[in-house]
Amino acid sequence: MKFFVSPFNKKVKLKFPDRIIIYDTTLRDGEQTPGVCLNLNEKLEISKKLDELGVDQIEVGFPVVSEKEKESVKTIANEGLNAEILALSRAKKEDIDTAVSCDVDGVIIFLATSDLHLKYKLHMTQQQILDMCLDSIEYAKDHGIFVAFSAEDATRTNLSFLKNVYKKAEEYGANRVHIADTVGAIHPQAMFFLVKNIRDEINIDIGLHCHNDFGLALANSISGLLAGGNAVSTTVNGIGERAGNTPLEELIMALKILYGIDLKLNIEVLYELSEIVEKYTSVKKAVNKPIVGKNVFRHESGIHVDAVIEEPLTYEPFLPELVGRKRKIILGKHSGSRAIKAKLDEYGIKVTKDELCKIVEKVKEKREEGVYITDDVFCKIVKEVKKEND
């Protein structure tokens, strides 16, 4: 294991919870990405890979949605995975009954709490919402399962009302409450304030379900952990509704490398997991996607390549092998002789100093003509140069 972090990181004292729970929702919120629909076999394979990674809980679906969804949830719940299997449920007995019939370990009951949602979506009063919430928690707990209550649009909810809902949820037996930043509308400082206020009121676990509408889901999740939260909702590759959710791979590696928080996960499978989810969802990752993007461990600039060959950590925050990846040197207009030499060594090709200089020159020329320097193109250039010198 090899990585190097800023010495300034060690100067800042931060208080994280003793245990951080990852409850991944790729198969539920991730599947709510427009255009995504996973079949049973695909969900099962993703579940097994998440379990191989070692996440604590997997939210595998919303069983009341359809018979096929119910079948998927039940199949995964009976697969014998180490992770706890959770299902989503509205604050309705029929939803809870359906989830329980699928043999899940627990349910996440959700209900909106903001004035905006109460007025325009639910057409209900705060008292009606509170009663509905508590009735559903009590009903679910009577079945002897894990129960989390998720306040939808919590970050735009009146704080006094939100604290009261969570306190009552704890009294009625909820194992965990979730702060859902449903439209990604909070910033890290506000999240810290909110979670700290909630933590002062309750003793049960606090989960953070963050959306990425402003690119702050990861930062908000970490801020929430520092304020007293101890569970985070994630999705592989950060997929999900609109701009997506807190990316699983980014959270794990940021905690590990930047904050020194090792969740004891099998991180070597992160890239394989990412590729599987990309394949089955057809949601393409950006090439510069942190941790799992195509370009993260690819180098072209001559200055960078020279340094990386000497010591990878000069231009990489950690070795790619940690997450199941490999480094790749890309040839192009910025390539220098050392990068070309490294490529030649890969093929076991010996050249003279003069030939090396000519190969570098031709690689630059070809790329500036709009030709990508694939392995085939490179080998062709080498043959041409060697032929000219015969």
Digit-coded pLDDT (tens) for 16-70: 999 999 999 999 999 999 999 999 999 999 999 999 999 999 999 999 999 999 9
Model-level pTM?
Answer: 0.93
Please state, in angstroms and rounded to a whole number, the distance separating the CA atoms of residues 131 and 93.
Answer: 13
Please state, in angstroms and rounded to a whole number, the distance separating the CA atoms of residues 372 and 367.
Answer: 6
Which residues in the chain land under pLDDT 70? 1, 390
Which residues 6+ apart lie within 8 Å of 37 measured at CB? 31
Please state, in angstroms and rounded to a whole number, the distance separating the CA atoms of residues 35 and 372.
Answer: 32
CA-based nearest residue to 74, from 37, 105, 49, 109 = 105
Please state, in angstroms and rounded to a whole number, the distance separating the CA atoms of residues 54 and 238.
Answer: 18
Which residues 6+ apart lie within 8 Å of 306 measured at CB? 336, 338, 339
Question: Residue 234, SS3?
Answer: strand
Please give the pLDDT value at position 320: 96
First vs last Cα of the chain: how many Å apart?
46
* Dihedral, CA of residue 25, residue 29, residue 49 and residue 149, to nearest 10: 20
Which DSSP category does 11 fall into? G
Which DSSP category does 311 fall into? -
Token pair, residue 95, equals 């939803």
Please give the pLDDT value at position 132: 98
2 exposure class (CB count in 10 Å sphere: 0-12, 13-18, 19+) = exposed
Please state, in angstroms and rounded to a whole number, the distance separating the CA atoms of residues 301 and 310.
Answer: 14
Please state, in angstroms and rounded to a whole number, the distance separating the CA atoms of residues 96 and 247.
Answer: 28
Token pair, residue 244, equals 């997506």
Question: Distances in Å between the alpha carbon of 257 and those of 237, 249, 310?
Answer: 18, 12, 22
Which DSSP category does 8 fall into? G
Q: What angle do CA 221, 231, 154 make, to 5 degrees?
A: 65
Token pair, residue 281, equals 């969802």
Domain ranges of the chain: 17-281, 298-388
Query: Residue 178: how many CB atoms within 10 A of its CB?
Result: 26
Which residue's entry shows tokens 């409850």? 23
Helix axes 217-226, 188-199, angle to 10 degrees: 30
138 exposure class (CB count in 10 Å sphere: 0-12, 13-18, 19+) = middle
Please give the pLDDT value at position 7: 77
CATH superfamily of 17-281: Aldolase class I (3.20.20.70)
Which residues 6+ apart lie within 8 Å of 13 measured at CB? none
Question: Distances in Å between the alpha carbon of 344 and those of 124, 183, 353, 375, 381?
Answer: 70, 51, 12, 11, 11
